[in-house]
Amino acid sequence: MGHSLDFSVVYDNAPALLWGCLGTIGLALAGMALALVIGLLGVLARASRFAPLRIATVAFIEVIRNTPFLVQIFFIFFVLPYAGLRLNPTITAIIALGINGGAYAIEIIRGGVQSIPRGQIEAGLALGLHRLQVFRLVVLRPALRAIYPALTSQFVLLTLTTSICTSVAAYELTSVAQRIESDSFRSFEVYFSITFLYLAMSWLLMTGFAAIAGRAFAWPTR
């Protein structure tokens, strides 16, 4: 018996799907913010003169980059309670996304920082700037221009990774779609529709990042 398409279930649940999109974007933005903080702190830690801190940072990067995100989020949600730390699904998802994205952000930012000529750093120090001021003004800003495309691509990928957060019952688009599909048994219609919703969110993010780059990195006209 053939399967007749019926997208009425999608139309009827459009508000829930749109709320799911907002949940996805909320998780992604919070995860991106945490990842950026971890990335910046990680770069400073890797450049530290304190060897144990450098080793710990490298170990963190290797562990996160070489283990599945699903395992990482399960570890936070199911294992940490044994240590007395129980987190709700949303907080778990944000932390997992931030840690995962942060490990990649460290290496991306570090690559940009290493592209800055040593002479510029020495010039900043010679002008009496503190090391943190040199990092923020002389190193980070020029490096950000170089790494911006890679960093924003990683953040778009992080947005798509939010779909895995449904495994711990975090509220986002895939979890909403699963509920609708289980009630209606219209798998094709539901997942076909959310595919385009994910495409739309990715396109909006890429467009937004491009607009920010156009304003932040535009060369002055005079």
The per-residue pLDDT of the chain, averaged, comes to 88
What pTM was computed for the model? Answer: 0.88
Where does the pLDDT of residue 221 fall: very low under 50, low under 70, confident under 90, or very high at 90 and above?
very low
Which domains can be identified in the chain, with CATH numbers?
14-213 (1.10.3720.10)
User: Do the Cβ atoms of 169 and 23 come closer than 8 Å?
Assistant: no
Instruction: Quote the tokens at residue 75.
Output: 């570890």
Q: What is the pLDDT of residue 12?
A: 92
**Percent of the chain whose pLDDT exceeds 70:** 95
Burial 200-215 (b: 16+ CB within 10 A, else e): ebeeebeeebeeeeee
Nearest of 58, 42, 5, 36 to residue 191 by alpha carbon: 5
- Residue in the structure block whose two tokens are 């221009």: 145
Q: What is the pLDDT of residue 218?
A: 62
